[in-house]
Structure 1
């Protein structure tokens, strides 16, 4: 995924040089093994850690544009805070737009003197990112020997084991393979907390346990209750004592105090509640007192990044450990290989292109939240991408922010180099672009095409290697696909009597990856070298490819 040119097939174009200092350059094509070694996050610049600032700036511009009204008459979201970190350095931490922008459910903005601007320390309702805190609490209980992953939940919470749920395991709750329904209207259908909890305990699975992936809030509500049962301690106290206090997080927790209201981003306008601000947006979590396994956590971008860095560090931060490294490894292991497209560790989502963008790999971990929050962790590059928005302010019906999520992740991925092994790079401007060798000497026998390739393409995208025997009709001899490995590979193609080869970029309908690169093109037959593109750069003809240098 020798000619003084590296030939690139990608829609993520890098045309500016790296601005690394001290000879260091961040490399997308050199993935890390093991955990990061950063003790604490520090402030810095993209250049300081070898990142190209231009793609990051472009991503920030995209986020800012989404805060402006579009053809619908309203913005995609009222405001946002974007934080990107690489190798333990926060390279950007930028607010834009408004934490409070509307006074009701309409698109009519408040007068500017009544709005509240976003700031770096704006506190957001994290929504379903709360599930990660619950999962960490649960796995801390696992470290204490309170349960095994394959334990039936009913062994620990007997009231759960009714209506076909007796075989559901703790692991299945953590991986959303329990068979439970996605959601119940607890807040409106049941009159009080005990009856709402009982409704979760009494629910009947919609699928046999372990047979399907269904993302369900009920899984995490149940896990929160399990953690309390195992420890004898309420969930909010477990989060505080086991996560936020050790990590030094002052603005992260449930039910933020009124003294912090002026720093909290508003969420949706709801009938009977008005513009929700300072209390959890999720109606079910609200009806459970603001503390629930699936929602309820509030935090800032910086403090969420601290949690992310602790995970990248293998469970510790600043000398304080919240999880053992083997536990973190377990949480980032895909337990859902039987359900393609729904890769999931223990609490963490894995390998989700729709919001992880070009940072996606089988190791990429994170979560999103309904209120407009996003956390992406990339262990391979030791990077963190956070986009916190109040996209439901004032309405949940104003559209998906997934393009903004991908833009942020893509910006960080593009800021890291895929380093040309020799010279410059080429990238196509659109699908169908081709890079073709000159006509080869016509002589009988087999031809061997050898080149280096780096491939990080969205499923559906490919670089097709083709050969022609007559200069007019092309036949496929190899297809380059795949993503997430981030390593160069040597490619060899042997075919009969081809008079030319070409690389054709096929662009699918996906979200895009970091790119596909070819280098060191050489063609031989039994009599010797027919083309060495390093020595003969004019031996490659481009249609729709352009030069890039990283």
Structure 2
């Protein structure tokens, strides 16, 4: 749509760094540059400037998901939610049950159930892919390979059936052309034949032409890491990640001594209720250690790994990756595949589970068992939701709404402070913020205001003008996300009777929101409206005053 304005100018208002802004208020609208340097510690939302109310609301909604609903069952049996900001763990909350069912449908009596606790150990499922990717990139630091090396140069048995040109980078970014999955556990009799099936598989797409999330990519990367190092994958994870970071409950095949702390997963034919053994059938058939799945951990220990990434590869004086390696891992190599942004191992910019924390810098991963890690380098924060959503069955629906609830809670706890005295933000689709009628004369007017915009791609705010109060014309559209900075918007247009900001809600998941502040209208004769000096000059239907 053409915007009928004579001049539109937008100026970025960068302000001062958040740490220099006076006080410790956590600010969504002042993104950090560079790495954190925090050691994970216990804290409170108030001590690090977070609004506790959105965090509490998110926790309450997570707790409700553990109760039976109209379907007759909960969304998931239990969960542990962890929020951290600037190294402070401000929330670490268990809810529900680690073990709730005796089989695929029968609930245990309450006195036989096992409650979730802060130190419950979860099967991380595909979050294990991050551990494999870190191990691989540690080998890259040692000069074992280049990202664009053909895999077959290092693993000759892989280079058959059209895979000769597949590169290590393509495995890490899921652009190799390999299928998503093979039934290794049921179609092949032993570990050697299962691994050979991965090596022999034929691409379904030419390498580098499509994004297809594939477990086979990470199984292959695990084999590559073992080939480069001469060590097993479990040893590489222990020596390169868990030991230096001091993680005692993180790794493959947890010992029986920890069984009473492990969350149960699915009831499977021939296996019963799976607990303490990897849920993923292919990883199970490979001995519990595989590049795509198999790692167990707690929320707190996963947060230590997350903090190490936010710190640029180190935590508490122990480095697991170089800064430049972490930067590579958080760089989007999939710009040719919109919607599938991906670094080296890390998923990027995925609103379906990162919610209002989404930006091109947001990184993380999910796991099929119901696990989620979201890292937000721009606010130096993380949100972790660990659930046993496949207990007792994988067929009870997606937990993506809960994932977004948790991410949104942290995003809304971070302040978006007015540029001047009073800012406005919409609360409902169709909400309108309008000026009073203006004393207009022939000629031009200049409308200026400050705007903070962090919206879902389907949302927008349209700035409109009218000459008669009945017919409105567009003069500006506010849209976009991820920039996280106030902008000064100036529009020069023909004289109008009044202006309005109309919020249109799309069909997406939503973002942190849009804020309008410091509205001012002038013409050649002077100031027609200064909303900071004349608050009654703005009228709202569905917008609220926002003070943080």
* TM-score of Structure 1 vs Structure 2, range by shorter chain: over 0.9
Alpha-carbon distance in 1 for matches of 2:424, 2:124: 41
Question: Residue by residue, what CA displacement relative to the aligned partner does 1:141-166 show, whole Å, maximum 9, x if unpaired?
Answer: 00000000000000000110100000
Deviation of 1:536 after TM superposition, in Å, equals 1.5
Q: Secondary structure at the match of 1:427?
A: strand
Give the number of equivalent residue pairs. Answer: 527
Q: Which residue pairs with 1:31 in the alignment? A: 31
Indicate how the Cα distance of structure 1 residues 526 and 425 shifts in structure 2: closer, same or farther if over 3 A, else same. Answer: closer
Question: Residue by residue, what CA displacement relative to the aligned partner does 1:348-398 show, whole Å, maximum 9, x if unpaired?
Answer: 000000100111100000000000000000000000100000000000000
Q: Secondary structure at the match of 2:485?
A: coil
Q: Which residue pairs with 1:532 in the alignment? A: 530
1:100-249 matches, cutoff 5 A: 100-106=99-105, 108-249=106-247
Question: Residue by residue, what CA displacement relative to the aligned partner does 1:253-298 show, whole Å, maximum 9, x if unpaired?
Answer: 0000000000000000000000000000000000000000000000
Alpha-carbon distance in 1 for matches of 2:411, 2:160: 47
Q: Which residue pairs with 2:50 in the alignment? A: 51
Question: Residue by residue, what CA displacement relative to the aligned partner does 1:6-35 show, whole Å, maximum 9, x if unpaired?
Answer: xxxxxxxxxxxxxxxx93211111110000
Q: Secondary structure at the match of 2:248?
A: coil
Q: Which residue pairs with 2:343 in the alignment? A: 345
Alpha-carbon distance in 2 for matches of 1:167, 1:429: 52
Q: Which residue pairs with 1:544 in the alignment? A: 542
Alpha-carbon distance in 2 for matches of 1:491, 1:425: 14
TM (norm. structure 2) is 0.95
Deviation of 1:429 after TM superposition, in Å, equals 2.9
Deviation of 1:168 after TM superposition, in Å, equals 0.4
For residue 518 of structure 1, the aligned residue among 516, 521, 528 is 516
Alpha-carbon distance in 1 for matches of 2:190, 2:240: 29
Deviation of 1:120 after TM superposition, in Å, equals 0.3
Alpha-carbon distance in 1 for matches of 2:541, 2:274: 54
Alpha-carbon distance in 1 for matches of 2:145, 2:443: 66
Structure 1's unaligned 5+ residue stretches are 1-21
Deviation of 1:462 after TM superposition, in Å, equals 0.6
Deviation of 1:423 after TM superposition, in Å, equals 2.4
Q: Which residue pairs with 1:8 in the alignment? A: none
For residue 301 of structure 1, the aligned residue among 299, 302, 306 is 299
Alpha-carbon distance in 2 for matches of 1:226, 1:203: 16
Question: Residue by residue, what CA displacement relative to the aligned partner does 1:103-130 show, whole Å, maximum 9, x if unpaired?
Answer: 1001x21011211000000000000000
Q: Secondary structure at the match of 1:223?
A: helix
Question: Residue by residue, what CA displacement relative to the aligned partner does 1:75-102 show, whole Å, maximum 9, x if unpaired?
Answer: 0000000000000000010100000000
Deviation of 1:463 after TM superposition, in Å, equals 0.7
Moved more, 433-442 or 241-250: 433-442
Alpha-carbon distance in 1 for matches of 2:65, 2:541: 34
For residue 408 of structure 1, the aligned residue among 396, 406, 414 is 406
Q: Which residue pairs with 2:463 in the alignment? A: 465
Q: Which residue pairs with 1:440 in the alignment? A: 438
Consecutive aligned runs of 4 or more in structure 1 exceeding 4 Å deviation: none
Asked whether the equivalents of residues 424 and 516 of structure 2 are also in contact (C-alpha less than 8 Å), the reply is no
Q: Which residue pairs with 1:423 in the alignment? A: 421
Q: Secondary structure at the match of 1:277?
A: coil
TM (norm. structure 1) is 0.95
Deviation of 1:320 after TM superposition, in Å, equals 0.4
Q: Secondary structure at the match of 1:154?
A: helix
Q: Which residue pairs with 1:273 in the alignment? A: 271
Question: Residue by residue, what CA displacement relative to the aligned partner does 1:185-208 show, whole Å, maximum 9, x if unpaired?
Answer: 000000000000000000010110
Deviation of 1:545 after TM superposition, in Å, equals 1.6
Deviation of 1:428 after TM superposition, in Å, equals 2.5
Alpha-carbon distance in 1 for matches of 2:384, 2:531: 42
Alpha-carbon distance in 2 for matches of 1:47, 1:271: 48
Alpha-carbon distance in 2 for matches of 1:294, 1:543: 50
Question: Residue by residue, what CA displacement relative to the aligned partner does 1:200-224 show, whole Å, maximum 9, x if unpaired?
Answer: 0000101100000000000000000
Deviation of 1:548 after TM superposition, in Å, equals 2.8
Q: Secondary structure at the match of 2:473?
A: strand
Alpha-carbon distance in 2 for matches of 1:481, 1:109: 48
Q: Secondary structure at the match of 2:492?
A: strand
Deviation of 1:300 after TM superposition, in Å, equals 0.2
Q: Which residue pairs with 1:78 in the alignment? A: 77
Structure scoring higher RCO (CA < 8 A, sep ≥ 6) equals 1
Deviation of 1:442 after TM superposition, in Å, equals 2.7
Deviation of 1:496 after TM superposition, in Å, equals 1.1
